[in-house]
Chains A and B, each alone.
Chain A
Amino acid sequence: MTSLQHAQPSSAHTRIQVPAWAWALTLLAIFALYLVAQDNGVVLAQFGDTAHEFFHDARHSLGMPCH
Chain B
Amino acid sequence: MTGTLHRPHTLQPPPFAPLLGRMVLAGLVAGALAGIYSLLVTERAIAPALDLEETRAAAERGAHDHGGALFSRGEQLVGGFLGTLLAGVVLAVVFAAVYALVRHRLPGHTDLARVCLLAGIGFGIFALLPALKIPANPPAVGDPATVGTRTAVYGAVLLCGIVSAMLVAALVSFLRSRAVSTAATATVAVGTLAVLLGLVLGLLPGSPDPIAADVPADVVWDFRVASLGQLAVLWTTLGLAGGWLVD
A residues with CB within 8 A of B:
1-8, 10-19, 22-23, 25-26, 29-30, 32-33, 36-38, 40, 49-50, 53-67
Contact = CB atoms under 8 A, between A and B. Distances in A.
B101 interface: yes
Contact of A53 (B43, B67, B94): B67
A66 B147 contact: yes
Contacts of B17: 19
Interface string B75-98: 111011111101100110110110
6 contacts: A10-B10, A10-B11, A12-B109, A55-B86, A56-B79, A57-B38
A7 B109 CA distance: 6
Contacts of B150: 65
Nearest to B87: A62
What class of interface size applies to chain B in its complex with A?
Answer: 35 or more
A36 B144 contact: no
B54 interface: no
A61 B230 contact: yes
Contacts of B83: 36, 54-55, 57-59, 62
User: By DSSP majority rule, is chain B's interface helix, strand, loop, or mixed?
Assistant: helix
B8 interface: yes
B110 A7 contact: yes
Contacts of B90: 29-30, 32-33, 36
Given A2-B2, A10-B9, A63 B131 contact: yes
B104 A14 contact: yes
B245 A62 contact: no
Given A15-B13, A60-B136, A8 B109 contact: no
Contact of A60 (B87, B127, B151, B227): B227
A30 to B, nearest CB: 6
Interface string B7-34: 1111111111111101000000000000
Given A8-B9, A26-B94, A36-B87, A55 B82 contact: yes
B239 interface: no
Contacts of A22: 16, 20, 96-97, 100
B38 A65 contact: no
B93 A1 contact: no
B44 to A, nearest CB: 11
